[in-house]
Amino acid sequence: MHTHSLRNRSALALAGVLLAGTPAAYTALADSRSAAVPTRGKAYVETRLFFGTARPDGGPAVTDRQFTAFVDKEVTPDFPDGLTVQSGRGQWRDAHGTIEKERSYELILLYPESVAKGGDRKIEEIRRAYEKAFAQESVGRVDEHAQVDF
């Protein structure tokens, strides 16, 4: 019984040391992360657009060829410096409350903050053009500020 009691006291003492040391170690780690992290690149805006391919009107889904032609015609002329397209699968609740699952595309654009006002207008034109061309209820949009270096 004496051995059991000694083990318990040792375990409690070790736990106390570990708990007492944790805040100091965490603080040191947090301080080292925030100290002198170099800022790279220039101020940019990252815009991600989400394009569904199922047509609410029951027409055939948008094909890869159709989407590529859309990007070539509607996006590349306004954003010739580059873009990224990723294929995916998504879901969302439509205007009637139905959860739609469909193939989708994510388009990623990076552009300097200095041209963001003009870029915003162009992106809204792209969204409207896709909605009209492929009978879509909407095209999702996410904007974030980023530091970009090429």
pLDDT, tens digit (0-9, with 9 covering 90-100), for 15-24: 443 444 445 5
Instruction: Give pLDDT, residue 100.
Output: 87
Residue with tokens 């569904």: 52
Per-position DSSP letters for 39-104, written without gaps between them: P-SEEEEEEEEEEE-S-TTS-PPPPHHHHHHHIIIIITTT-TT--EEEEEEEEEE-TTSPEEEEEE
User: What token pair was written down for 75?
Assistant: 């996006």
Looking at every residue in the chain, the average pLDDT score rounds to 83
User: In Å, what is the CA distance from 69 to each residue of 6, 129, 133?
Assistant: 76, 13, 12
The model's confidence at residue 49, banded by pLDDT at 50, 70 and 90, is very high
pLDDT over 50 at 5, yes or no: no
What gap in Å lies between CA 17 and CA 48, rounded to an integer? 48
In the predicted model, what is the mean pLDDT of residues 83-97?
Answer: 92
In the predicted model, what is the mean pLDDT of residues 64-80?
Answer: 97
